[in-house]
A and B are shown apart, each in its own frame.
Chain A
Amino acid sequence: MGSAIEYNRRDIFKRAAAITVLAAGGGSLLAACAGGTGSSSGGGSASPGGGSASNPFGVKASDPLDVVIFKGGYGDDYAKAFEAIYTKDYPGAKISHLGTTDIAGKLQPRFNAGSPPDVVDNSGASQLKLDVLAKNGQLTELTPLLDAPYLDDPTKKVRDVLLPGTLDAGTIDGKVWSLNYVYTVFGLWYSNKLFQEKGWTPPKTWDDFMTLSATIKASGIAPFAHQGKYPYYANYTLMDLIAKQGGMDLFKRLDACDPTAYDDPAVKAGVSAFYEIMDKDYLLPGTNGMTHTESQTAWCQGKAAFIPCGSWLENEMIKITPADFDMAFLPVPSLAGDKMPPNTLRAGAGEPFIVPKQAKNNAGGLEFLRIMLTKGASGQFASAANSLTVLKDGVGADVVLKPGTKSSSAALTAAGTNTFYYTYPDIQTEFDTALQAATADLCAKRIGPDQWIAQAKAAAAKVKPA
């Protein structure tokens, strides 16, 4: 009850805000008419043709810029550095910066009132769903940005300097709606120091992994922990086992929520392999009910050997990780008969940056993204947030990488073009939620592999073609 009322109260405020905005906008229009000097920034549509080569979007230096950043694993200090670069180019711009974990709570009312910010890092657990935003015409299509000249080298276009696969995650029906800025690598993580002390070799195959797990368990450490209350982390292992077993073709069908894909024997093989962890009791006690912080902390304390995560892990746990932990990355080990090569891994661009369609300083928003992709900004990000960006060779020699980042970027280099990236979590929220529930049940041994497959298939069948 409470929530329903709250949201409606909020509605009223939204409306009030909208009226204020309209009134204010009208005022400035009137002023523009009268004096002819007012900056009419209320138009809201990008004008890619209206700018010069150095200013392709036609940014007005005096227009304020409104930036909202998800303050999660990467913090928001990096964005402040970008804003400093922006003000250097456009000194008149007043920048308002908001770092928050509650993206939806802060922005949903603003979208409804038609006054969204100019740039949003739409990430985290309460992100606004890209599919929902795009379908409702709330986003600026980013092609003008991709075709704009690259800031560091104007002979190139912005799209030429991105790592392969960068745009996949932000593309729906052939249109690019978000620029995913952080290149994330997914797999298993361990402490190199612990492994060397104990004389363990990181496993290459799933059989090695299970054998090693037996050794690890015998030494009194839990072989595997996952982020129980957030079951999607477990899917980084489970769904990757399936993808590597089934090959690119099956991966594409799975990602497209094709229910028949779950009849493929590769799915059964992957789920059964993953289920062995539970079956042989290799889970950290209590991990099924832990938050990501609790289980990752337990892992940092050496209570568990492996944990599945994306490459934001190192920065997220930086305050808790022991100095000599020597974090290392491992692609999900390969099963016998895998169709993808053993070094294949899930990698793709995360941290989706969007420019709302109705943003007041739409051009400034696009320019902000263009600045983010310069080598300078990319290096700032790498050193502030300990992660790689989507910019090709985005980290200069002057930037010192932490061991985990170094390890994951080496794995990425080894993988070469053998990468895949599931987009269903970004664009099929309901399916993803159902899949997470099934995986949580599997991890708690409430269901077996066959029931997991049946539940996943049923969830896929419910997805209406977008």
Chain B
Amino acid sequence: MRHRKYPFIVGFLFLPVLLYTVLVIWPYIQTFGYSLTDWSGVSPTMNFVGFKNYTALLHDDVFMTALGHNLLLIILLPLVTIVLALFFAFMLNVGGRGGTGGIQGVRGAGFYKVVFFFPQVLSVAILAVLFEAVYRTDGGGLLNGILIKLGLENAQQPILWLSDPDLVFWCILAVLIWSGVGFYLVMFSAAMQSIPKDIYEAALLDGSGRSQTFFKITIPLLWDTIQTAWVYLAIAAMDAFALVSTMTPPAGIYGGGPNHRSEVLATYLMRNFLPFGKAGYACAMGVVIFFITLILSVVSLRVTRRERIEY
């Protein structure tokens, strides 16, 4: 019987592996190839230029600024999103104070879950349109409108949210967090519900408060899930392309402004790829992004590795 096993497995794996190779691995290899050329992006012809694109990247201030923003995102986005999602998930699942000692969420938890998850069902395009209205720079914007009504802002000098170099990065970060928390809340909720209730009950009987149950029980038991969330969010932080390119000025050339203050690697890559006709250079950036993401994933999985708690 045993000898039949391999053809069986190979038979099942052949098509997916072939598709994966053709559609994922091969394009990666192609990008490595293109990054060594002066390809323009609109013609099949190109010349080999060696590592010139990579050395040019090192001296490119805008690229370095974009890299800095991505690294800042990698630290802040997972941190804030996970902390918020964990807090909300905890409150919704075990944060309530049941009078009879049962473990439950705060009142109306089911409703909150739907509300929090709601951003997740919106596509990025809708998000962008939605938040352009929120950040609109005259009194017609949600934020500015409220601030003006409250008398906190001069209607003649409204805050320019996405066009203000000091605010634009934080505005984008806020949208990324807003849209991400719901998903991780649901994910952490699911993980929390798989924690046996008796552990919490025992802790309650021993007189532990909310924060003690959170830090001593919930977090350690959720560690695997948090780790996964971290890697996912870090990869999302390496992207951020859609929001930055659609919401920030200058519009039409993949945003990143004003003054590259919201530039991320992906937007700078696209600007070089299409409008500037420097596809080879853009491919070199793509390769750099690939390696950063790869290293990042490996490192964060290693660093956060802990002994698995079984229950």
Contact = CB atoms under 8 A, between A and B. Distances in A.
Interface of A: 1-5, 7-9, 11-12, 104, 108, 111-112, 114, 125-126, 128-129, 131-133, 135-138, 228-232, 281, 284-292, 294, 298, 429-430, 433, 436-437, 440-441, 444, 446
Contact of B277 (A114, A131, A281): A131
A298 B139 CA distance: 11
B26 interface: yes
Given A285-B138, A437-B259, A1 B289 contact: yes
Interface stretch (B4-12, B82-90, B221-229, B235-243): B235-243
Q: What 6 pairs between A and B have smallest CB-CB spacing?
A: A8-B27, A125-B252, A132-B277, A289-B137, A286-B138, A289-B163
A1 B137 contact: no
A68 to B, nearest CB: 14
The prevalent SS among residues of A at the interface is helix
Contacts of B164: 289, 444
A368 to B, nearest CB: 21
Contacts of B163: 228-229, 288-289, 440, 444
Given A5-B24, A229-B250, A230-B250, 13 more contacts: A3-B241, A3-B270, A4-B283, A9-B27, A11-B27, A108-B274, A135-B40, A138-B43, A285-B156, A290-B136, A290-B138, A433-B253, A444-B258
Nearest to A10: B27
Scoring A2, A104, A111, A446 by chain B CB atoms within 10 A of each residue's CB, the highest score goes to A2
Given A112-B43, A129-B275, A286-B144, A436 B269 contact: no
The prevalent SS among residues of B at the interface is loop
Nearest to A103: B274
B104 interface: no
Interface string B142-173: 00100000000001111011111100000000
A62 B135 CA distance: 53
B259 A5 contact: no
Interface string B116-136: 000000000000000010011
Given A285-B138, A437-B257, A1 B293 contact: yes
Contact of A285 (B40, B155, B251, B258): B155
Interface residues of B, number: 60
Given A1-B238, A138-B42, A8 B251 contact: no
B30 A11 contact: yes
Contact of B276 (A4, A126, A290, A429): A429
A138 B249 CA distance: 30
Contacts of B182: none
A442 B41 CA distance: 33
A440 B277 contact: no
Contact of A126 (B26, B139, B274, B286): B274
Contacts, number: 164
B266 interface: yes
Scoring A11, A138, A286, A430 by chain B CB atoms within 10 A of each residue's CB, the highest score goes to A286
Contacts of B156: 281, 285
10 contacts: A1-B235, A1-B266, A12-B23, A104-B274, A104-B275, A112-B42, A135-B40, A229-B250, A289-B162, A440-B250
Contact of B160 (A128, A292, A444): A444
Contact of A8 (B28, B235, B239, B270): B28
A220 to B, nearest CB: 11
Given A3-B269, A288-B163, A289-B137, A230 B27 contact: no
Contacts of B258: 437, 440-441, 444, 446
Interface in B36-88: 40-45
Scoring B23, B26, B160, B274 by chain A CB atoms within 10 A of each residue's CB, the highest score goes to B274
A286 B27 contact: no
Contacts of A129: 275-277
B137 A114 contact: no
Contacts of B235: 1
Contacts of B161: 289
Interface in B270-296: 270-271, 273-277, 283, 285-286, 289-290, 293
Nearest to A128: B42
Contact of B138 (A281, A298, A446): A298
Nearest to B273: A7
B28 A3 contact: no
Contact of A229 (B31, B43, B249): B249
A57 B151 CA distance: 69
B269 A286 contact: no
Contacts of A430: 276
A11 B24 CA distance: 11
Contacts of A289: 135-137, 160-164, 249
B217 interface: no
A126 B252 contact: yes
A426 to B, nearest CB: 12
Given A4-B290, A136-B45, A137-B43, A433 B275 contact: yes
Given A104-B274, A286-B137, A229 B40 contact: no
Nearest to B238: A1
B22 interface: yes
A286 B270 contact: no
Contact of A111 (B43, B238, B250, B283): B43
B266 A285 contact: no
Contacts of B241: 2-3
A281 B137 CA distance: 16
B266 A228 contact: no
Contacts of B289: 1, 4
Contacts of B157: 285
Contacts of A128: 42, 274
A230 B252 contact: yes
Contacts of A4: 31, 266, 269, 283, 285-286, 289-290
B256 to A, nearest CB: 10
A278 to B, nearest CB: 12
A134 B72 CA distance: 40
Given A125-B252, A429-B276, A440-B250, A132 B41 contact: yes
Nearest to B241: A3
A212 B241 CA distance: 44
B275 A429 contact: yes
B20 to A, nearest CB: 12
Nearest to A125: B252
Contact of B42 (A8, A111, A229, A437): A111
A430 B277 CA distance: 10
A285 B139 CA distance: 9
Scoring A7, A111, A228 by chain B CB atoms within 10 A of each residue's CB, the highest score goes to A7
